[in-house]
Amino acid sequence: MELDTKTLRMLVRVALLTRDYAYAPYSQFHVGAALLTAKGRIYTGCNIENAGYSATNCAERTAFFKAVSESEREFAAIAIAGGKKDEPADYTPPCGICRQVMAEFCGPEFPVILVRSEEEYQIYTLAELYPMGFSPKNLE
């Protein structure tokens, strides 16, 4: 799916807005994600922390798991906006586990958009962020 400017800007905005829903009482680091499916639907996700810290779920995985649990399997892009609570977003790269989840469903050209503001964002491919990732191809 073509990532036109209008869609790109929409994803950026939705990631920034979704950040408001973060449940992060332990780190105070709020992250929002907006995941675009190949069919053009957007699934949102925020980080959801837990008193048992390792039970925390990142924003990106929340978005992927919501989408996959609703039968989506093909994705066009993800935008991520993170930063300290009550502070503007800053470029927040996805953690290693989220990169691994992306590698399960997305190819090397999958665009990962790191968002600082509506006007400031950087686009990387999954291959740039996660070279030589373990993927379903390795199990063939």
Q: Is 49 in the site for ligand THU (CB under 6 A)?
A: yes
Identify the sign of the CA torsion 93, 99, 102, 107.
Answer: positive
The residue ranges of DSSP E strands in the chain, in sequence order, are 29-37, 42-46, 75-84, 111-115, 121-125
Nearer to ligand THU by Cβ, of 83 and 135: the residue is 83
**Residue 47 within binding range of ligand THU, rule CB under 6 A:** yes
Does residue 42 bind ligand THU (CB under 6 A)? no
Q: At 65, is the secondary structure helix, strand, or coil?
A: helix
Shortest Å distance, C-beta 99 to ligand THU: 9
Of the pair 6, 12, the CB lying nearest ligand THU is at: 12
Give least dist CB 26 to ligand THU, A: 7
Kindly state whether residue 63 participates in binding ligand THU, applying the rule CB under 6 A.
Answer: no
Q: What gap in Å lies between CA 14 and CA 32, rounded to an integer?
A: 8
Interaction between residue 29 and ligand THU (CB under 6 A)? yes
Minimal distance, residue 4 CB to ligand THU, in Å:
25
| Residue tagged 């332990």 (tokens) | 26
Three-state SS at 90: strand
Helix spans in 40-95 (H): 59-68
- Site for ligand THU contains 35 (CB under 6 A): no
32 three-state secondary structure: strand
Report the interface residues with ligand THU, using CB under 6 A.
Answer: 24, 27, 29, 31, 47, 49, 56, 58-60, 82, 92, 94-95, 98
